[in-house]
């Protein structure tokens, strides 16, 4: 949550208008938050509740003890079984094999970040809006998970990370790679994602704060809110993942990286970029002074 920073800067005499413009924030949303701010405890519980919801959605047959294991594996290591039971009970997220209970249907917990993109998948310059998502695919050795980050200005995949486990560190590694590729000049950049538990973790929140980036999240179960990354992963699925059977994780990992860096960036021409590749577009549109630097 970046709004407390805006409030602290306002206390130091920096106008809210200036801060919101630099951080790409909506002033109306800030003032709504100012009327009813979240406490740290409420925000932490919202993170946990979203992680419980994601775990229940993926494995509806899990009871609260198994859900608690999944939540801790997602990065919330200090969460106890009792807290998970309370959250699941309050929201009616019951094991599909257990006794059905009639409760008022409840919505998932509040997102960790407001939706700052609102399906406007475009940017006027580099490092203004990035979108991120996770995908998975199976090899004979087991699954691998890939996190990718796309810059909406050029459609380039500025950061990616691949691992055998889908943890918050996967997202952090992709963010660090993207920031390094952009020479750390990412302050104020919006990182938009879905509400997956990995994107809710404290590790990811700290990474965004470290690079002075702004988080953004779409709605639960609404693929259109992150359509720019859904379309990229659809291409990856058709051109790499589904083309053959993969024997080892390393074999699949090399195929993914090769397709991104060689084919997608350097060979695949995109109508949205004037029939240029992402690499050609960035080379042409980057000012000569920036290239010299």
Averages of pLDDT over runs of 10 residues in the chain (293 residues) are 71 83 74 69 74 76 78 83 84 64 48 76 90 92 93 95 90 95 91 83 90 84 74 91 92 94 92 92 76 42
Please provide the DSSP assignment of 80-103 as one string.
-HHHHHHHHHHHT---TTS-----
- Do the beta carbons of residue 228 and residue 152 sit within 8 Å? yes
- pLDDT of 129 reads 93
Kindly give, in sequence order, each residue whose CB lies less than 8 Å from that of residue 269, ignoring residues fewer than 6 positions away: 275, 276, 277
pLDDT digits (tens, 9 = 90+) for 276-291: 999 999 999 886 545 4
- Three-class DSSP category at 59: coil
Tell me whether strands 190-193 and 129-139 are parallel, antiparallel or unpaired.
Answer: parallel
CA distance 222 to 185: 31
pLDDT digits (tens, 9 = 90+) for 13-52: 888 888 877 777 777 777 777 776 666 676 677 778 778 8
- Three-class DSSP category at 285: helix
Report in angstroms the alpha-carbon separations of 32 from 24, 26, 66: 16, 10, 37
Report in angstroms the alpha-carbon separations of 115 from 29, 30, 191, 220, 244: 10, 13, 10, 11, 37
- pLDDT of 40 reads 67
- pLDDT of 288 reads 56
- pLDDT of 178 reads 95
């Amino acid at each position: 949550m970046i709004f407390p920073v805006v409030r602290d800067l306002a206390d130091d005499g920096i106008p809210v208008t200036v801060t919101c413009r630099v951080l790409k924030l909506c002033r109306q949303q800030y003032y709504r938050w100012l009327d009813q701010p979240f406490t740290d405890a409420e925000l932490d519980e919202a993170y946990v509740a979203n992680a419980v919801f994601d775990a229940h959605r993926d494995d509806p047959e899990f009871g609260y003890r198994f859900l608690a294991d999944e939540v801790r594996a997602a990065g919330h290591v200090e969460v106890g079984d009792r807290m998970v039971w309370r959250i699941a009970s309050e929201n009616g997220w019951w094991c599909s094999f257990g006794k059905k209970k009639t409760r008022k249907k409840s919505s998932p917990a509040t997102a960790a970040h407001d939706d700052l993109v609102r399906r406007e998948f475009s940017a006027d310059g580099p490092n203004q809006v990035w979108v991120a998502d996770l995908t998975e695919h199976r090899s004979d050795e087991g699954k691998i998970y890939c996190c990718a980050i796309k810059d909406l200005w050029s459609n380039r995949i500025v950061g990616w990370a691949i691992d055998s486990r889908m943890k918050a560190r996967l997202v952090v590694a992709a963010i660090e790679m993207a920031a390094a590729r952009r020479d750390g000049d990412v302050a104020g950049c919006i990182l938009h994602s879905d509400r997956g538990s990995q994107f809710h973790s404290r590790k990811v929140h700290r990474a965004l704060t470290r690079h002075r980036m702004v988080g953004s999240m779409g709605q639960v179960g609404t693929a259109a809110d992150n359509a720019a990354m859904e379309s990229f992963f659809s291409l990856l699925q058709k051109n790499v993942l589904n083309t053959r059977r993969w024997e080892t994780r390393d074999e699949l990992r090399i195929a993914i990286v090769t397709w991104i860096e060689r084919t997608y960036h350097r060979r695949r021409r995109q109508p949205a970029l004037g029939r240029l590749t992402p690499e050609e577009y960035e080379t042409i549109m980057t000012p000569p002074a920036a290239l010299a630097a």
